[in-house]
């Protein structure tokens, strides 16, 4: 078995792939030597200010609306501990393990820049929890996406103190103190400034954005595959995907989508059966077939913008106050989640539209007036059998939900902290609804894939393209029996969902086409 490469957390930025490797793949982490040097240097600056008579926010003052309250030296450890305990105020269902791990890694990444002033032992504790597979219990509700993802980050910090609840590497729920003791990890004792340093970041939003970008990159390729299957099974044409036609509108995402469609479609016997214009009287296909590259391409271009924002945010050191490169301790507003919140919301819009177009293609298969010779609802014995009638209902219900999830969260703001924090990003909520939307898109594409495979099989003895045929064969190998009388349909849908989620669909297609764009 190959070892998972270690991810080094240093003063330079992490990449999206590294975030996903730790969050989802369980890759171990280590702190780089330069990062440790910078952490020690900035901590010395904070220590030097500890007994300064001039007030410094978060070091010798209270927090938020209490920033004008001076805290005497002997009570500052209590100040930091109380901050974490009081801010660990989340509620609702547990957040997914991969999200919490991404959040912790990104907070560690900011600590490693040396701009936060934490102790070396605190940064090492975060790395130790990640490497031990200990995941703090973080709740669904609690972040307004400003002053950082406060409650989610506070729950993680609380676990490092040996308090609160965690799940160990096996997923067992237990008190944090027990889990740390079992792993040989010493609980952190916070000093000046550290409470703020552990909770003042956009890490929850950004971690979910990194995961979403990874998932959507693959799902947009799957969408090209399922669209090609539908166009083929509906006796549509691939002529409109020609490169010279796409070049007339030089949108990069559109060009990539069209290239994928051409590659997946290549060598189709079904397409060849109606290539003769004398035998095929249809002048042009419906928009849901013909305009696929334009919609899928627009989604790709939106995703490219989101990736740009994520890459910039991964290069950021978000804290307040922050220790500048020349050693000043300065208040700032970099914790505001607006840039990340906007793209989280933005991605939900094309996602819903890609799903909507997928549902429209599926529906065409089921309507004998538009399916070009296929039986109603792809039923084996129409009237006695209902075929895929209700599978389309399921798609429609999901698409309707995706349209609601496309309503932006970031246009809202609720003032907090006695009007000190009077404008917030709601970026955490944008991230949470995007995760639900991604799951919905995967299910919509799975139903299109299953329906198109049935339609293609019903075109026999005409043969599909090698790439679409590979998807049909993959479904059969996974337990899909092909066309036939009515049967329990939900398990077949889940087969298709799992094949997409596991990456097997793209793997099988790539054997024929090479890697899709």
**Integer CA distances (angstroms), 165 to 162, 168, 205, 209, in order:** 9, 10, 22, 25
Distance in angstroms (rounded) separating the CA atoms of residues 274 and 465:
14
Q: What is the largest CA-CA distance in the chain?
A: 91
Radius of gyration (C-alpha) of the chain in whole angstroms: 27
Q: Which of 57, 126, 141, 393 is catalytic?
A: 57
With tokens 């999200």, the residue in question is 99
**Residues 6 or more apart whose Cβ sits within 8 Å of residue 448:** 226, 227, 229, 230, 358, 359, 361, 362, 395
* Lookup result for tokens 């997928």: 358
380 token code pair:
């084996």
Residues in the chain: 517
For residue 329, cis peptide bond before it (omega within 30 degrees of 0): no
Measure the CA–CA gap between 359 and 396, rounded to whole angstroms. Answer: 7
Quote the CA–CA distance of 52 and 59 in Å, as a whole number: 10
DSSP at 73: G
Residue 81 structure tokens:
């501990």
Q: Is 57 a catalytic residue?
A: yes
Token couple for 17: 């792939």
- Report residue 284 as tokens: 């042009």
Other C-beta atoms lying within 10 Å of the C-beta of residue 184: 8
Cα 248 to Cα 74, 243, 304, 404: the distances in Å are 71, 9, 21, 34
Enzyme catalytic residues? 57
């Amino acid at each position: 078995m190959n070892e998972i490469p270690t991810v080094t957390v240093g003063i330079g930025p992490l990449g999206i792939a590294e975030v996903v490797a730790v969050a989802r793949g369980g890759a171990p982490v280590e702190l780089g030597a330069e990062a440790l040097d910078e952490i020690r240097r900035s901590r010395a600056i904070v220590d030097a200010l500890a007994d300064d008579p001039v007030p410094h926010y978060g070091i010798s003052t209270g927090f938020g609306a209490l920033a004008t309250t001076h805290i005497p030296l002997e009570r500052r450890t209590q100040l930091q501990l109380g901050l974490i305990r009081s801010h660990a105020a989340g509620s609702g269902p547990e957040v997914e393990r991969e999200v919490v791990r991404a959040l912790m890694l990104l907070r560690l990444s900011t600590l490693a820049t040396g701009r936060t002033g934490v102790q070396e032992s605190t940064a090492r504790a975060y790395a130790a929890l990640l490497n031990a597979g200990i995941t703090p219990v973080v709740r669904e509700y609690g972040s307004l996406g400003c002053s950082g993802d406060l409650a989610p980050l506070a729950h993680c910090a609380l676990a490092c103190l040996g308090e609160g609840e965690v799940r160990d590497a096996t997923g067992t729920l237990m008190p944090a103190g027990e889990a740390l003791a079992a792993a040989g990890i010493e609980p952190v004792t916070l000093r000046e400034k550290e409470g703020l340093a552990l909770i003042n970041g956009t890490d929850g939003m950004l971690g979910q954005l990194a995961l979403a970008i990874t998932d959507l990159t693959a799902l947009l390729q799957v969408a090209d595959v399922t669209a090609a299957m539908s166009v083929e099974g509906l006796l549509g044409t691939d002529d409109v995907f020609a490169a010279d036609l796409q070049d007339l509108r030089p949108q990069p995402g559109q060009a990539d989508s069209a290239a994928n469609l051409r590659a997946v479609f290549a060598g189709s016997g079904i397409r060849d059966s109606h290539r003769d214009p004398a035998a095929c009287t249809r002048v042009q296909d419906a928009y849901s077939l013909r305009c696929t590259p334009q919609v899928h391409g627009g989604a790709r271009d939106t995703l490219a913008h989101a990736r740009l924002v994520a890459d910039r945010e991964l290069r950021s050191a978000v804290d307040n106050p922050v220790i500048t490169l020349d050693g000043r301790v300065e208040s700032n507003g970099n914790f505001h989640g607006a840039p990340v919140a906007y793209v989280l919301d933005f991605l939900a819009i094309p996602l819903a539209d890609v799903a909507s177009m997928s549902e429209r293609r599926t529906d065409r298969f089921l309507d004998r007036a538009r399916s070009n010779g296929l039986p109603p609802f792809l039923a084996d014995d129409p009237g006695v059998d209902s075929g895929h009638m209700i599978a389309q209902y399921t798609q429609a219900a999901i698409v309707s939900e995706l349209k609601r999830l496309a309503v932006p969260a970031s246009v809202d703001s609720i003032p907090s902290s006695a009007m000190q924090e009077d404008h917030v990003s709601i970026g955490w909520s944008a991230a949470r609804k995007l995760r639900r939307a991604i799951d919905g898109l995967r299910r919509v594409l799975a139903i299109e894939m299953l329906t198109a495979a049935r339609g293609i099989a019903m075109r026999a003895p005409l043969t599909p393209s090698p790439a679409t045929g590979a998807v049909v064969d993959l479904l059969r190998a996974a337990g899909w029996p092909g066309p036939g009388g009515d049967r329990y349909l939900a398990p077949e849908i889940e087969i298709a969902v799992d094949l997409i989620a596991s990456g097997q669909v793209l793997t099988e297609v790539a054997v024929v086409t090479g890697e899709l764009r």
